């Protein structure tokens, strides 16, 4: 029961990270649960928890077409810094969601799933439907871009 509750919380967080809009995230979350319930009522229950994330991902992508667009910015990119954790702690959840939601897909999906810190590499590949080299590149580039954005938003050493 506790694991199912955690999965539901992570599903909502995933929707929020993908869209950066609580109302839209809740709408996608509920639509995904309704579809799963309807399938279960027809004797075709979803096979695994990844079904929920795949389904929500496609719904978020569709809803996000009219949402946030990536900003053009030329920031120096580098690997995540040792002090990134303290910078991240100073972020509001909405700031991280806006940054992730503004990324182009499939990078947006990969980063949203990665920052949930809930999935194995194999599960990330399954949900994003990417090949291992593609996913690795997207995560590496996304982490570098995130560090550059983080440095511009909350400079290292800022109280």
| pLDDT tens by residue, 12-56 | 999 999 999 999 999 999 999 999 999 999 999 888 889 999 999
Range of the domain at 91: 84-153
Nearest to 62 by CA among 24, 117, 7, 114: 24
Chain CA centroid to CA 2, Å: 22
**pTM greater than the 0.75 cutoff:** yes
Average pLDDT of span 85-92: 80
Question: Which one of 31, 64, 97 terminates a domain?
Answer: 64
Q: Is the pLDDT of residue 70 over 90?
A: no
> Which CATH number is 126's domain given?
1.10.10
Q: How confident is the model at residue 79 (pLDDT cuts 50, 70, 90)?
A: low
Q: Is the pLDDT of residue 72 over 60?
A: no
Q: How many domains does the chain have?
A: 2
- 55-65 b/e with 16+ CB inside 10 Å = b? bbbebbeebbe
């Amino acid at each position: 029961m506790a694991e199912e509750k955690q999965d539901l919380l992570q599903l909502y967080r995933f929707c929020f990270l993908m869209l950066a809009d609580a109302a839209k995230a809740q709408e996608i979350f509920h639509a995904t649960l309704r579809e799963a319930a309807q399938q279960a009522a027809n004797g075709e229950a979803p096979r695994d928890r990844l079904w929920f994330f795949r389904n929500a991902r496609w719904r978020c992508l569709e809803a996000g077409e009219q949402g946030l667009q990536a900003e053009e910015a030329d920031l120096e990119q580098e690997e995540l810094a040792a002090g990134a954790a303290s910078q991240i702690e100073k972020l509001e959840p909405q700031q991280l969601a806006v940054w992730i939601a503004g990324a182009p897909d499939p990078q947006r999906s990969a980063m949203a799933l990665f920052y949930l810190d809930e999935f194995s590499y194999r599960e990330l590949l399954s949900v994003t439907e990417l090949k291992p080299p593609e996913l690795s590149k997207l995560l590496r580039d996304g982490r570098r871009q995130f560090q550059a954005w983080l440095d511009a938003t909350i400079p290292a050493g800022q109280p």
